[in-house]
Structure 1
Amino acid sequence: MNTEQIRQSVREKWLTYYAENRQWLSRLGVWVNCDGQRRPSSGFILATLSVLEPRLAQLLPLVVDLSSNPDRIVMALGLNFNPEEQLDKVSEGAVNETTNGSRKLLPAALHEINIQASQVPMKAPAQIDEDCRGSRDRRD
C-alpha cells in the first residue's frame, strides 16, 4: 500500500465531495482555524473520508492507535488546507492552461463539479470558527 497514493486519493475524494456539497458545507458550523489554515474540523474530514475511501477506513484503526489526535492525522494525510481556496486554484489553473494553449488534465468529475458549483449562487460562509489546538497541546 503506497502512502502517497492514499494521500492523493483522499485529497481528490475530499475535494470532489466538498465541491459537490459546497453550497451547504461552506455554511455549516464545522469550520476551524488550524495552523493558519481555515478548514472543516478534522473529525468531520476523517468521518467523511472513512466512507469515501475504503483503504483509509482500513488504516484508521492503526493510525488512531499511533495518534488519537485528529488534527495530526489530517495533517499527515496532507489535508490541512482550505478546500474553498483549493477549488478556486484548480478552477483558475484550468482556465489559465486552456487559454495558454496547453492543457493540464484534471480529474473529470472534479472539473465538472467545479463548473456546476460555480453556477449555483453561494450563500454566506460560516463566520464563527473554532480554534484547532490539538496539534500542539496534546502529546500522543
Structure 2
Amino acid sequence: MKDSISIFKLLSDETRLRILMLLDHCELSVCQLMGVLGVSQPLISRNLSLLSKGGFLDDRKDGKLVYYRIKGDLHVINRTAMQFLKSILKGDKTVQYDRETLRDCLEFQKKAGRCDMETFEKFIEARRKAVSSGR
C-alpha cells in the first residue's frame, strides 16, 4: 500500500507528469526540458531527482550534460502507472503542445549547433516573444 501511495504522490504534480510524457517520447537533457517546459533549472532538476528516486528514470552522462530517459525495466507498479498515464493523457492539449514545443526546441538546438543552457535560454526567450506577438 505504501508503494502505491508514494507513486500517486509523486505523480500528483503537473511538471512531473509533463516530464514523464516528454521522456516517454525521447531521451532529454535538463537544458532541453527547460527549453520545452519554460521553467527553471532548479525546478527541472528537483523533479528529475524525485522521478529518479521514485524508480521512473535512468540517466547517462555525456560530457557536461546528463540525459534522462524512462527506465527500460520499470517496476510493475511504475510500469502500470506509466501505461495508465499514457492512456489518459493521449490527446491531452498540454502534452501535444509540449511535443510540438519539443520539436521546435530540437530544431532550434540543431540550428544553434549547441546543447547548453545559453542555447535553451535563447529558445525560451524566442518562444515567449512568439507567443506574446500571437504567432
Q: Normalising by the residue count of structure 1, what TM-score does the alignment of the two structures yield?
A: 0.29
Bigger proportion of residues as helix: 2
Structure with larger RCO (C-alpha < 8 A, sep 6+): 1
Question: Which entry has the higher C-alpha Rg, 1 or 2?
Answer: 1
The alignment's TM-score, normalised by the length of structure 2, stands at: 0.30
